Structure 1
Amino acid sequence: MLLDIKNLRKDYTRGQQTFAAVNNVSFSMASDDFVCIMGKSGSGKTTLLNMIAGLLTPTQGKIIINDTNLFELNDQQVSAFRNQHIGYIPQGSSLLPNLNAIDNIRLPFYLTKREPQTCLSYAQSLLEKANISYLQEAFPANMSGGEMRRIAILRALICKPQLIIADEPTSDLDDESSAEIMQLLTEINQQGTALLIVTHDNDVASYSQKVLKMSAGKLLT
């Protein structure tokens, strides 16, 4: 099993009241799964994804990826593990405006002090496979929303992760761009990368192998 979530909970305190944004969630994924989590805004979807990505610490529970309990690691180890095993695609535009496309894609190599030049040919091959080689030297200000989202996906792939996590990957895109993004993500999954997506869009969910529904912090069965 690639991913095993056990009794995961995240509490927040507002004033004198404590509430569970994620409440006792458990599920698992194999290495070739494509899973979609659906739910309304405020249902806990993004909080759940951010814990799985190692960006938030749970109040209780376990996140086990490749037999490693993520939160038995310290902050530096979690960051290194995420860089090696998880590709994260946050919601909205997440590219650095002062970097062109090829450097945005290679950004994870900069952050871990590895030499970005060593992954240049791979980054170029990703651009070619996504049919956007023409964007290599382009800056985000000169890209469409769909183009920026594709670059963000390629950035998530640059370290060859086993798991891609995407938060509303087609939000604010038109129908044509959304379909292109989902086709790209489907191809990535078919090539052997597990895919976990959060969305409120039924059309996006239709691409997945399994749909989980979330409400008030809980996964519905």
Structure 2
Amino acid sequence: MLIEANAITRRYGQGDIAVTALDQVSFEIDAGEFVAIMGPSGSGKSTLMNLLGLLDRPTSGQLIFNGRDVGSLSHDQLAASRNRDIGFVFQGYNLLPRHSALENVEIPLIYSGVGRKHRLQRSRAALQAVGLSHRCDHGPTELSGGEQQRVAIARALVSNPALILADEPTGALDSRTGTEILDLFKRLHIAGRTVIMITHDENIARHAARIIKLKDGKVLSDTRAAPQCTDDAKPAPADKLSGAMPHALSKTQQ
């Protein structure tokens, strides 16, 4: 079990002005699942994303991540676990504009103290796995939106995290490029990765194998769906994702 949420509640403020963003939410997520958490604005999905990303702690209830009670961790322990265990992918890519694709992917490894030789090896392999080995030396302004998001995914993968947490990862992309990114997440899932995707769009959520719907801070439904995967564009086939970079991409080989 990677994540276990037991009646987690998150409130902001106190007394009469307190706002309950999450109310007694419970679920479990196994390692290797591809889960979409969806809901409209105000449903609590962003609050839940912050909890799952170890950016916040529940007001009450228990959230277990990778065998550890989040509520018992210090700020330093939360920061260390975020860097080690979670790869973030955001709608806005969040790439450093004056650095190359390769340098952007290296960043988590620098924070982890990985030596330069191994950093370069792992970062190049991560970019190769997402179909961008030919763009290593290009900066963000020289890359398309889809290419920038692939760099962000490579950066999320390079530390070999337990979880890939993606917040509206296709929100800034056209529909075709968005489908390419969703197919890449699907291939990561097939290769053994745990992927949690936050979205307000049901059409996007349907690409996942499981959908948890939130409404007014509560779990409205938790269903398993037949995941969609188109073949219009294939930036990296599953065999490359599981074989090209065993230490940073594939969980099935560990």
TM-score with structure 2 setting the length: 0.82
CA distance in 2, matches of 1:68, 1:138: 39
Residue 138 of structure 1, CA deviation:
1.3
TM-score with structure 1 setting the length: 0.93
CA distance in 1, matches of 2:15, 2:134: 52
Q: For 1:145-190, what per-residue CA distance to the aligned partner results, in whole angstroms no more than 9, with x for missing partners?
A: 2111111111110111121111111102101110110111111111
Summarize the alignment of residues 85-100 of structure 1 with structure 2, pairs less than 5 Å apart.
85-100=85-100
Q: Mind listing any 5+ residue stretches in structure 1 that lack a counterpart?
A: none
SS of the residue 1:56 aligns to: coil
**Alignment check: 8 A CA contact 1:106 1:116 kept:** no
Residue 95 of structure 1, CA deviation:
1.0
Indicate the percent of aligned positions where both proteins have the same amino acid.
35
**Alignment check: 8 A CA contact 2:91 2:172 kept:** no
Tell me the residue number matched to 2:252: none
Tell me the residue number matched to 1:66: 66
Is 1:121 paired with 2:121?
A: yes
Tell me the residue number matched to 1:163: 163
SS of the residue 1:9 aligns to: strand
CA distance in 1, matches of 2:91, 2:134: 24
Higher alpha-carbon deviation: 51-60 or 14-23:
14-23
Tell me the residue number matched to 2:23: 23
Letter in 2 for 1:98: R
Letter in 2 for 1:191: A
Taking a change above 3 Å as real, the CA distance of residues 166 and 116 of structure 1, as seen in their structure-2 partners, is farther
CA distance in 2, matches of 1:72, 1:15: 25
CA distance in 1, matches of 2:39, 2:218: 10
Q: CA RMSD in A?
A: 1.7
Is 1:80 paired with 2:45?
A: no
Q: Mind listing any 5+ residue stretches in structure 2 that lack a counterpart?
A: 222-254
Summarize the alignment of residues 13-52 of structure 1 with structure 2, pairs less than 5 Å apart.
13=13, 17-52=17-52
**Alignment check: 8 A CA contact 2:165 2:196 kept:** yes
Higher alpha-carbon deviation: 6-15 or 118-127:
6-15
CA distance in 2, matches of 1:61, 1:96: 37
Would you say how many aligned residue pairs link Structure 1 and Structure 2? 221
CA distance in 2, matches of 1:14, 1:7: 20
Tell me the residue number matched to 2:236: none
CA distance in 2, matches of 1:6, 1:116: 41
CA distance in 2, matches of 1:20, 1:90: 25
SS of the residue 2:25 aligns to: strand
SS of the residue 1:106 aligns to: helix
